[in-house]
Amino acid sequence: MIAPLPGDIFRAGQILNNTYEIEGVLGRGGTGEVYRARNLISGRIVAIKALNAQFSGQEGYIALMRREEQMRDIRDDAVVRYTECSRTDQGHVFLVMDFIDGPSMADVMMRRRMEPRELMIIAHRVAEGLVAAHSQGIVHRDLSPDNVILKGGSPEKATIIDFGIAKDTGAGARTIVGNDFAGKYEYAAPEQMEGKAEPRSDLYALGALLLAAWKGQIPFAGMTPGEMIRRKGQPLDTLGVPEPLKGLIDWLSAPALAQRAPSAAAVVEQVGAALGGTPGGRAGGEAATTRAAGGTRALPRSERGVAPAKRSSGAGFLVAVLVLMLGAVGGGAWYAGLFDDLLKPALPVASPYTLTAKAADGPAPPTLAGHAPDEAGAAALRAAFAGLAGSDAAPEALILAQGVPGPDWVGAVSELFSILSGVEDWKVEVSDRAVKVTGLAADAAAGKALRQMLETWAQKGNFVLTTSLSIGPKVLVLADVQKMLDERATCGKLMLTDPPAAGYALGDTIAVTGSAPDGDLAADVQLGLRERIGDRKVRVDLAVLNEDLCAVRDVLPDLPNNAVSIWLGKGETGEPNLTGIYTEGDNPVVEVLIPASITEGRLWVMVVDNTGTVYNLLPNVNFAETDLTKLGTVQDGMRRVRVLFSFDELRANPKLLAMRIKKTDYGKSEFLAFVTKSDLFDTRRPRDESIVSFAEALDFAQTEHPGNILGYASRILESRP
């Protein structure tokens, strides 16, 4: 089963007439859909063919369904069994038939070439089904690999399905879909090109489908009406087909009715004999097998039991009139094309009726392909496509065909092209009235407006619409993202984590780090970015700091840290504290780590605590040195400068600084370390000072000595109960 669409007639789980529970969609067409369903009373699995709403009220289509339902009188294992024709409370007319579980011959052809013997078995089985249909005066008219299902994958259980365009050959009966051509050109008999069909037309189709299954490809019927007529008058190319399959195909598909197999019953008899007996004994008569060269058993191309074909009086009259006209006006009129419309066969029937248009992709130009009902329709579609793509499509890209799903179809598709103006990377796929649109809108506002226009268009034209719209820009420039962040920063700079140099592509994740005075900023950043970055993800990880810490963040320099970092440890054990979280009684140890490659410069370190006080740790009243080369020790390529010590170290040297977490310390503090060319401040700062005085001094130092700071690091220490 295939995936459901929003416009499907029925939905999974829906119960029709208190009897049939819908399980899923099996297929869709221009006028309706086919579903798999379960009879809740008997448990039998059935197939349900339903008409779309616009056709359920039209008598012509209802008559078609009613006529197809009359096939229930045919009781043959080789023909799908019809049960009933009904109508839902919502007005949808539907037809119930057996569900045949298995691949079609077309499905098997896609995977492999079918073997001659299994094709002979299928031919025997299908011919048996045709005997049953023809005996009721029913001609299938559309026999093809799609309409022969191998139940359970078995050739012996081949079943004919879909008598949707079957014709009643009884006196006074009308063809359900009119008297014009119906069926697939590749498998249609020559007489069907003139709108005529009889039981032997189904035999021609049987021969053509057997040949297609053996070759693994659809027979070529020609590109133009004239070529189709010419080819239908010639025998099918069976060169290389082994006997007796070749003889059978030649016999079934003879262009002339007089040379074709006379009846489905005769085919059953002949094929049964070739297979070594006539299974079931349905078709009586003499077996007509002969010994081919080399001892191969072959079916003959005889005319045994076939009455001479009668020439149509209408056709003869037409030929006579043409001869008289040619004699009167001269042969030049023929070559001038005066009679082309008179002799031109009907256009092929396209089902589904499709059109695909795609924007340029790099060096590949825009493309347009599909069906059009006539030259005027094709011209309208090309013009609309040119307005969207900026270039026209090749004339051969559109194929003229019958089956357009409504007189408004061309105009609606042309209007769709105009709606997509301004969309990048667009693609349109139309199948009857199911439409899929993909593309890239410039931004969220453009995407919203586009969706609204598409939904209005689909509702107006009764189209089933599927959209897959991406929201741009296609590439998001880093400077634009940083500008968005700077507009929202309220606690120091918001930074991008590992941003791609070429900008963010669609689907990328934008990672933002920094600080915030409260939790609302992260949500504000998320919302603000999402409105402007299109189809990209945002991950915001902000440390929530108090106002004092944010005041310092606002004056920190916009510089890289040059690999300077701050290490936190546990004074009791000497182990690192990766989380930076301490509890009451803990003894934090703090070190500044500086690459040993930095051999010149100064170091200033301070901590901003949660009471609004800044403590200057280096230099301090007991230790005034700031020269890097005279500080700390070098280990594994890093200079480690300790600024807060353990209590064991303090006992050994009372001039050192140490701290223990108390209840009054609960909250967040921030350690700052600056590596500078010369001293950060002109004089040593006091042991402790207010946030305001420190922030003013730091701002002044940067203004008076620009470029003095080489790098800095910060680290949050959090104390909890």
Count how many domains the chain has. Answer: 6
Q: What's 557's domain CATH number? A: 2.60.40.1930
How far is 602 from 403, CA to CA, in rounded Å? 84
* Exposed/middle/buried for residue 495 (C-beta within 10 Å: 0-12, 13-18, 19+): middle
Cβ atoms of 66 and 95 within 8 Å: the answer is no
**Domain boundary residue, one of 60, 83, 98:** 98
Residue at 109 is within a domain: yes
Q: Which of 665, 669, 696, 667 is nearest to 681 (CA)?
A: 696
Can you tell me the distance from the alpha carbon of 396 to that of 39, in angstroms, rounded to the nearest whole number?
48
pLDDT at position 7, please?
Answer: 61
Pair 393, 512 in one domain:
no
Residue 309 falls inside a structural domain = no
Last residue of a domain, one of 414, 446, 471: 471
Same domain membership, residue 587 and residue 704: yes
Q: Read off the DSSP letter of residue 402.
A: B
| 329 and 412 housed in the same domain | no
- Full residue range of the structural domain in which residue 146 is found: 105-291
Same domain for 437 and 504? Answer: no
Q: Does residue 533 sit in the same domain as residue 598?
A: no
* H or E segment to which residue 475 belongs: strand 475-476
Q: Is there a single domain that holds both residue 278 and residue 336?
A: no
Cα-to-chain-centroid distance, residue 242: 43
pLDDT given for residue 69 in this prediction: 65
What pLDDT shows up at residue 286?
Answer: 32
Q: Is residue 300 part of a domain?
A: no
| Residue linked to tokens 């001293």 | 679
Residue at 307 is within a domain: no
Round the CA-based radius of gyration of the chain to a whole number and report it.
Answer: 42
Residues 398 and 487 in one domain: no
Q: Is residue 248 part of a domain?
A: yes
SS3 (DSSP) at 140:
coil
pLDDT for position 289? 32
Closest CA to 568 of 542, 544, 586: 586
Task: Please tell me whether residues 109 and 126 are part of one structural domain.
Answer: yes
User: Across-strand partners of 440?
Assistant: 424, 470
CATH of the domain at 149: 1.10.510.10
- Residue 102 · residue 151 · CB < 8 Å: yes
Residue 85: inside a domain, yes or no? yes
* Structural domain contains residue 658: yes
What is the predicted pLDDT for the residue at 518? 84
454: domain CATH number is: 3.40.1520.20
Same domain? For 363 and 327 the reply is: no
Position 579 scores a pLDDT of 94
DSSP three-state, residue 432: coil
Q: Flag whether 708 is in a domain.
A: yes
Backbone φ, ψ for residue 622 (5° rounding): -100, -15
Phi, psi of 357 (to 5 degrees): -130, 140
Which helix (H) or strand (E) element contains residue 60?
helix 59-69
Task: Please tell me the predicted confidence (pLDDT) of residue 664.
Answer: 82
Residues 256, 161 share a domain: yes
Q: What is the CATH number of the domain that holds 47?
A: 3.30.200.20
From 79, 98, 117, the end of a domain falls on: 98
How many Å apart are CA 493 and CA 556, to the nearest integer? 8
651 and 631 together in one domain = yes
Kindly list the averaged pLDDT for each block of 10 residues, start to end, along the chain of length 721: 69 91 81 87 91 66 65 85 84 87 90 92 96 88 90 94 52 34 72 85 95 84 66 89 94 94 94 71 34 35 33 33 32 30 55 91 88 89 90 66 88 95 94 94 93 95 93 93 92 91 94 89 88 91 84 79 88 95 96 94 93 92 93 94 96 94 88 95 92 91 92 91 89
Sign of CA dihedral 185, 186, 187, 193: positive
Q: Are residues 132 and 236 in the same domain?
A: yes
Detail the DSSP E strand segments found in 535-600. Answer: 537-544, 565-570, 581-583, 588-595
- Residue pair 444/474 in contact (Cβ under 8 Å)? The answer is no
